[in-house]
Amino acid sequence: MPTIIVASQGPRAGRTTVTAALGALLASQGRNVRLARLRSSGGDGPGAEDDARALALVPACTASASAVTEQDALVLARDAGGGVLLIEGPPGVSSELAGRLSARVVLVAGDGEDLASAQPSLGDALAGVIVARAPDRRLAALVGEIESKGTRCLAVLPEDRQLAGPNVREMAEALHASRLVERGVEDEAVEYVMLGPISSDPGQPYFLQHGSKAVVNRFDKMDLHLAALATEPDCLILTGGQMPSPYLLDRVAGSDFDVSVLLAPDGTVRTVELLDDLFGSTRFSGQRKLTRAIELLRDRVDNHKLAAVL
């Protein structure tokens, strides 16, 4: 069984996204795929377990829902038989780890990231690079730039709003918001944050512009809350820290929509600023992100180069 470590030079590079999408892609090609999230020898926070749970949802792949030790990974590599073992490593690149696991490394990097230090440290273990979150204007140029330095470029993935979006749970934590109604799927990514219209235009046609969204309005804007609710948002975020009309909560509770209602303590401007900081720094979770990651990698990967890695 070929063993591939998906690594990066730092955190939040997109390792879980790439591991999940690559595993699903290989499984769709008829390969037996095992996924694992490797624990850091120095100890991990809850992020490693979140990553492992995300990998456990990848279709047609086998994965543990908890992070594994290096010894566990050695057992998986030895006993799993034919197929591919994809291991998401902790942040940092290590030729020693690759040597101990008899693995090759796929490095996840960002546009403009300096690969000069990673290439000599990994040596022959470096199988290729996958660029994540590349601006559209750079998509065509990056493959040539990377390969001109002697490294195989397997794929360049564009920036994507859905992959960058936070989920409802992350928004609630960032805002220190309380949950007035908890009915939505809180692990799914939200693509858009929308404020109510400030003109006299009707709210409902405005909110219908986007499907996956969080709607932010002051707690007392009942007309906008109801207009947004009719368009099935992922969540309503009420600002100002005061309780809304009980009628709103009754309407949400009596509807068929899976909508969470959060009460943020800050005003609308500060709330939106905090949400804006979340985009691009969130964890990989939920079916929406998984589906989108698979689509992007399938469309962008060089299958001949990937076959050479395997």
pLDDT in tens, 173-200: 999 999 999 887 788 999 999 998 776 5
- Topology of the domain covering 166-278: 3.40.1390
pLDDT at 199: 62
> Does pLDDT of 99 surpass 70?
yes
Whether domain 3-160+283-309 has CATH 3.40.50.620: the reply is no
Helix (H/G/I), strand (E/B), else coil: 163: helix
Q: How confident is the model at residue 202 (pLDDT cuts 50, 70, 90)?
A: low
The tokens of 243 are what?
A: 């309780």
Percentage of the chain with pLDDT > 70? 95
Q: How confident is the model at residue 40 (pLDDT cuts 50, 70, 90)?
A: confident
Q: How confident is the model at residue 34 (pLDDT cuts 50, 70, 90)?
A: very high
Q: How confident is the model at residue 257 (pLDDT cuts 50, 70, 90)?
A: confident
Q: How would you label 185-210 residue by residue, b for 16+ Cβ within 10 Å and e otherwise?
A: ebbbbbbbbbbbeeeeeebeebbeeb
Model confidence pLDDT, tens digit, residues 110-143: 888 888 777 777 888 899 999 999 999 999 899 9
pLDDT at 200: 54
Q: How confident is the model at residue 88 (pLDDT cuts 50, 70, 90)?
A: very high
Euclidean distance between CA atoms 178 and 108, whole angstroms? 36
pLDDT at 239: 97
Euclidean distance between CA atoms 18 and 296, whole angstroms? 10
pLDDT at 153: 93
Taking residues 270-279, what's their average pLDDT?
94
**At 96, phi and psi to the nearest 5?**
-65, -45
Structure-model confidence comparison of residues 282 and 82, the more confident one: 282
Name the residue ranges covered by the structural domains of the chain: 3-160+283-309, 166-278
Contacts 24+ apart (CB under 8 A), 52-56: 53/285, 54/16, 54/20, 54/283, 54/284, 54/285, 54/290, 55/16, 55/19, 55/20, 55/23, 55/88
Euclidean distance between CA atoms 89 and 98, whole angstroms? 10
Percentage of the chain with pLDDT > 90? 62
- H/E element, 237: strand 235-239
Q: How confident is the model at residue 296 (pLDDT cuts 50, 70, 90)?
A: very high
> Does pLDDT of 260 surpass 90?
yes
pLDDT at 43: 63
